[in-house]
Amino acid sequence: MPRIFLSPPHMGTDEAAFVTEAFDTNWVAPVGPHVDAFEAEFAEYVGAKHAVALSSGTAALHLALRDHGIGPGDKVLVSDLTFCASVNPILYEGGTPVFVDSERESWNVDPNLVEDAFRARASGGNQFKAFVPVHLYGQTVDMDPIVSLCEQYGVTIIEDAAEALGATYKGKSPGIFGRAGIFSFNGNKIITTSGGGMLVTDRSETAQHVKKMATQARDQAPHYEHSEIGFNYRLSNLLAGVGRGQLRVLDERVDARRAVFDAYVDALGDLPGVEFMPEAPWGRNTRWLTCLTLQPDAFGATPEEVRLALEAVNAEARPVWKPMHLQPIYKDYEFIGGDVSSDLFARGLCLPSGSSMSPADIARVVDTVASTHHAIA
Ligand SMILES: *Cc1c(COP(=O)(O)O)cnc(C)c1O
């Protein structure tokens, strides 16, 4: 049986032609017409004034934090339930992450806990210099309360929208609610350039500064003059060509992922102990990954037993992200919250969710998941 991957790349029809064009015109460099066009097309898609194409989502978050001046002693509030790349760049700059728990309604940060965290520090405490809300698994954070709290307490928002390209919050794209937002085109994301990222912002100073830092921070001069530390973080013109093709099919990819989710819900949603990740009322979830939680007593199997059963039929499932406050590298940092993120981790599972899944692929997953229930119950 061919392997069913969790979230494999799914090329459209124009990517190869764009790459060929880059070859034909010899723009095989981290600069060129596809980079410019990809940025313009992406900015228009998400509704931001500027977009800067970078080598990864991690690089984009790093430069967003650096542009904002995060440094030693600065506290940055960040979602607890996420991938480590939401947090590592805070440490690159010597900042101190503080983790905040999820709410069950969206699996994203709980605005009530954010308010508690801000209020506790408002009276002479060390207020957060930034907040990095993460839009998880294709679902947007409830941004309205977050935006007003951050305005009230003077905390800058930098959104990690790496998993939520194509999603909406009250009709708008994530990534455009704060000083900057970041996206990822890693191989497993909803669209991919094999690897790549994008920073979006309405601030022209931020866009200019990020572009400069991403290209070794060269000053305006005929020779090589440098007055700040730079990085080599620009996206290749070849990969930007892939990105342009992928952006054209993004909306189709969202529809396809949502159809995969719907097929899973139709087939498995009534089994005892199965609960799918909710779709929050404020937006459209792309269902980048179909996630569910199991009540092992009611279902008759643990998430790990289901994962192994899928592995046995060559289908790739994964646990939900392990919360940052439980990670060995981050266990000594402050965590605000309770047991929501740890419970979602303990009982959660992400099913194969690719937009190119066939009905037979979905049936293989569904039958296997259902069989773990019948075998044990
Ligand atoms: C994938 C991802 C990133 C990092 O993106 P890369 O392009 O892989 O560097 C950051 N945050 C989250 C939540 C992600 O899922």
Please indicate whether residue 15, judged by its CB atom, sits closer than 6 Å to ligand 1: no
User: What is the DSSP-derived secondary structure letter of residue 109?
Assistant: B
In which domain, by residue range, is 336 found?
Answer: 251-376
172 is an active site residue? no
- Pocket test of ligand 1: the residue of 84, 86, 132, 183 to mutate, having most ligand atoms within 8 Å of its CB, is 86
Q: Do 45 and 108 belong together in one domain?
A: yes
Chain-centre distance of CA 156, in angstroms? 19
Active site residue: 49, 170, 172, 189, which one? 189
Distance CA 186, CA 232 (A): 17
Q: Do 241 and 311 belong together in one domain?
A: no
SS3 357: coil
- Pocket test of ligand 1: the residue of 62, 134, 163 to mutate, having most ligand atoms within 8 Å of its CB, is 163
The one-letter amino acid at 335: F
CB 161 within 8 A of CB 183: yes
- Pocket test of ligand 1: the residue of 83, 141, 322 to mutate, having most ligand atoms within 8 Å of its CB, is 83
CA of 361 from ligand 1 middle (Å) equals 26
- Pocket test of ligand 1: the residue of 6, 56, 58 to mutate, having most ligand atoms within 8 Å of its CB, is 58
CA of 27 from ligand 1 middle (Å) equals 27
Please indicate whether residue 162, judged by its CB atom, sits closer than 6 Å to ligand 1: yes
User: What is the DSSP-derived secondary structure letter of residue 130?
Assistant: E
Token representation of residue 118: 């801000």
Please indicate whether residue 160, judged by its CB atom, sits closer than 6 Å to ligand 1: yes
CA of 191 from ligand 1 middle (Å) equals 13
List, for residues 138-167, the tens digit of each pLDDT value.
999 999 999 999 999 999 999 999 999 999
Residue nearest to atom 6 of ligand 1 (CA): 57
CB 317 within 8 A of CB 306: yes
- The domain tally of the chain equals 2
Locate the ligand 1 atom nearest the alpha carbon of residue 86 and give its number: 11
Q: Do 44 and 164 belong together in one domain?
A: yes
CA of 270 from ligand 1 middle (Å) equals 33
CA of 56 from ligand 1 middle (Å) equals 8
Please indicate whether residue 56, judged by its CB atom, sits closer than 6 Å to ligand 1: yes
Q: Do 195 and 275 belong together in one domain?
A: no
List, for residues 15-37, the tens digit of each pLDDT value.
999 999 999 999 999 999 999 99
User: What is the DSSP-derived secondary structure letter of residue 69?
Assistant: T
CA of 290 from ligand 1 middle (Å) equals 17
List, for residues 239-273, the tens digit of each pLDDT value.
999 999 999 999 999 999 999 999 999 999 999 99
Beta-bridged to residue 250, according to DSSP, are none
Find the CATH number of the domain harbouring 240.
3.40.640.10
Q: Is the residue at 57 inside a domain?
A: yes
Residue 214's pLDDT band (boundaries 50, 70, 90)?
A: very high
The one-letter amino acid at 276: F
List, for residues 327-377, the tens digit of each pLDDT value.
999 999 999 999 999 999 999 999 999 999 999 999 999 999 999 986 554
Q: Do 231 and 257 belong together in one domain?
A: no
Q: Do 119 and 160 belong together in one domain?
A: yes
List, for residues 55-88, the tens digit of each pLDDT value.
999 999 999 999 999 999 999 999 999 999 999 9
Out of 249, 272, 305, a domain closes at 249
Chain-centre distance of CA 83, in angstroms? 8
Distance CA 295, CA 306 (A): 12
Find the CATH number of the domain harbouring 370.
3.90.1150.10
The one-letter amino acid at 308: L
- Smallest CA-to-CA distance from 207 within 105, 54, 27 is with 54
Judged by phi (left if over 0) then psi (alpha if -120 to 50, else beta), residue 103 lies in beta
Over pLDDT 70: what percentage of the chain?
Answer: 99
Please indicate whether residue 184, judged by its CB atom, sits closer than 6 Å to ligand 1: yes
Token representation of residue 210: 């990020």
Q: Do 307 and 360 belong together in one domain?
A: yes
Please indicate whether residue 256, judged by its CB atom, sits closer than 6 Å to ligand 1: no
CB 198 within 8 A of CB 42: yes
For the cut 90, the answer to whether the pLDDT of residue 123 exceeds it is no
Locate the ligand 1 atom nearest the alpha carbon of residue 186 and give its number: 7
Please indicate whether residue 137, judged by its CB atom, sits closer than 6 Å to ligand 1: no
Out of 218, 249, 280, a domain closes at 249
- Smallest CA-to-CA distance from 101 within 373, 345, 282, 332 is with 345
